[in-house]
Amino acid sequence: MITPLVDDPFTFGRIAAANAISDVYAMGGRPVTAMNLAFFPACTLPAEVLVDIFRGGEAAMEEAGVCLVGGHTVEDDELKYGLSVTGLIDPARVVRNNTPMGGDRLILTKPLGSGIISTAVKGEMAAVSQLEEAIAWMTTLNRGGAELMLECGATAATDVTGFGLIGHACEMAGQGDVSLRISLDRVPLMEGVGSLVADGMVPAGCYRNRDHYTAQLATAIGRGDLLLPLFDPQTSGGLLISLPPQGAQDFLRLAGERGIFAVEIGQVTPRMERAIVIA
């Protein structure tokens, strides 16, 4: 469940639904059914707003092949919307979020920056093109990447959402025998994110993520602005996927052929002093 990131109710519904469905894709599953969950301030917003939100959610569900089977709406002071999603997967093919193998390559399927751009929109500092790009990514389903990672033998995967890239990378490294080495210059960002950070358009969640996860981070770059996008809380972010070297090559090749965004951003190494190393 999320609060609105955009003014248009239909678009908000699409973003929230794509965000919820992504949890099933991140495990390699196929989403099947969903229930609408809405908290709606009926005293301050017309019912037509809720109808448009549901229409947007239904559009995302239809694209994902998900059947809406019901839902629940309650009156609340703050507007919130999301889905309860049920999916199917062969238990032998579940892709977990903390099982990468040493030598694997790391692939990211969406650029970062939706949280920073959303903050800039609230501060009236974002260009129209930046908002349009953020919406395009937040409404893009992770379906293609999820299907492809199964084809290519992914060893681990997670979707990048509220804890930012570093938070979810720490989750992937876990307490095991590996660390994740990420190349900063390979991490894709949405248009103008660096400039927005320099202008102070950084969400509070970004700083909270940085404060919490810095202890698990090794870098010679320090705590400067260059690292802030890596902590940016994403909504409906991409998949962070760990694949064996040949599987990563196949993934990147097939992603290019199928029009799926994919960038190799690092690799899995034997456990080092910290869980995450930024180079």
- pLDDT for residue 223 is more than 90: no
Please tell me the predicted confidence (pLDDT) of residue 164: 97
Please tell me the predicted confidence (pLDDT) of residue 175: 74
Strand 178-182 and strand 276-278: pairing?
parallel
Q: What is the pLDDT of residues 143-178, one digit of tens each?
A: 999 999 999 999 999 999 999 999 999 999 987 789
Average pLDDT over residues 68-83: 96
CATH of the domain at 202: 3.90.650.10
Q: What is the pLDDT of residues 182-194, one digit of tens each?
A: 999 999 999 999 9
| Residue 2 in domain | no
Contact assessment for residue 33 and residue 59, using Cβ atoms and an 8 Å cutoff: no
| Residue 43 in domain | yes
Q: How many domains does the chain have?
A: 2
Cα 150 to the center of its chain, rounded Å: 18
Residue of 27, 20, 23 whose CA lies nearest to 149:
27
Report the share of the chain in percent with pLDDT over 90: 94
**Residue labelled with tokens 């960002």:** 189
Please tell me the predicted confidence (pLDDT) of residue 203: 95
Which of 73, 92, 111 is a domain's end point?
A: 92
Whether 133 and 247 map to the same domain: the answer is: yes
Helix or strand or coil: residue 107?
strand
Query: Which residues touch 195 (CB under 8 Å, ≥6 apart)?
Result: none
Average pLDDT of the chain is 95
Which of 38, 57, 92 is a domain's end point?
A: 92
Compute CA distances 61 → 14, 69, 243, 270, whole Å.
8, 11, 28, 40
Whether 128 and 231 map to the same domain: the answer is: yes
Show the domain range for 83. 9-92
Q: What is the pLDDT of residues 95-135, one digit of tens each?
A: 999 999 999 999 999 999 999 999 999 999 999 999 999 99
Please tell me the predicted confidence (pLDDT) of residue 50: 97
- pLDDT for residue 94 is more than 80: yes
What gap in Å lies between CA 50 and CA 179, rounded to an integer? 44
Could you tell me the pTM of the whole model? 0.94
Q: Write the secondary structure of 67-84 as one string of H (helix), E (strand) and C (coil).
A: EEEEEEEEECCCCEEEEE
With bands split at pLDDT 50, 70 and 90, how would you rate the model's confidence at 222?
low
Contact assessment for residue 79 and residue 3, using Cβ atoms and an 8 Å cutoff: yes
CATH of the domain at 59: 3.30.1330.10
Whether 57 and 180 map to the same domain: the answer is: no
Provide DSSP, 224-243: SGGGHHHHPPPSS--EEEEE
Which of 72, 92, 112 is a domain's end point?
A: 92
